[in-house]
Amino acid sequence: AQTVTQSQPEMSVQEAETVTLSCTYDTSESDYYLFWYKQPPSRQMILVIRQEAYKQQNATENRFSVNFQKAAKSFSLKISDSQLGDAAMYFCAYRSALMIKAAGNKLTFGGGTRVLVKP
Amino acid sequence: DVKVTQSSRYLVKRTGEKVFLECVQDMDHENMFWYRQDPGLGLRLIYFSYDVKMKEKGDIPEGYSVSREKKERFSLILESASTNQTSMYLCASGVLVGYNEQFFGPGTRLTVL
């Protein structure tokens, strides 16, 4: 079974600065997808960024970028130019690329990292 | 705009009560999921469904059951609520193909007294 570990329960960052969230995972599969989800206080979880394991190029979405190290099974998220609206819980998640209907496309989540942004 | 809605944001129930949590999605997604969210544990999958009337156990199905009579609706049932089921419950939906994201509802915070 796959596991996802986020070793930082909480991170604090000054507004306009950069913060990096760590995520490691364990899998025996060679093809899979990785995601970072954001859950703002009292608001719905939304997707921040995603990475396909077979792509070597790191994904980027505006101020959010990832450092995907497949051999090390590491998938960190960098938030640049942090804004007050970035304050949230961030979850790293893993999904197998196998297209088996009865397996769904279920996600395995890490424990989450709370990001605090100081003005 | 995609939407996943849950019947209640907050719910307080007594031990032993039967509890229904309902989730509706308007995106015609095949897959629907129920997760439980607890501090430090992230989200854990309770059950999911890949088609009407089809269900599969997730990682923590004990004490829960589900029902999917229509494609857009997925219900989570606590047959006899217990205090250790006090938690945040999140519903999600998604498609099987590709690496499409799951879309989440706002969550139901359930307290069992």
**pLDDT by 10s per residue, chain B, length 113:** 668 999 999 999 999 999 999 999 999 998 999 999 998 889 999 999 988 999 999 999 999 999 999 999 999 999 999 999 999 999 999 887 666 788 999 999 999 99
Q: Which of B48, B106, B107 lies closest to A104 in CB terms?
A: B48
Q: Residue B17, exposed/middle/buried by CB under 10 A (0-12, 13-18, 19+)?
A: middle
Interchain contact B58–A (C-beta under 8 A): yes
Contacts of residue A12, defined as CB under 8 A and 6 or more positions apart, other chains included, come to A115, A116, A117, A118
| Alpha helices (runs of H) in chain A, residue ranges in sequence order | none
Tell me whether B107 touches chain A (CB under 8 Å). yes
The secondary element (H helix, E strand) that includes residue B40 is none
pLDDT of A25 strictly over 70: yes
CA angle B37, B78, B100 (to 5 degrees): 45
Task: Look at residue B16 and give its three-state secondary structure.
Answer: coil
Which of B33, B44, B99 is facing A52, going by the closest CB pair?
B99
Q: What is the DSSP letter of A83?
A: -
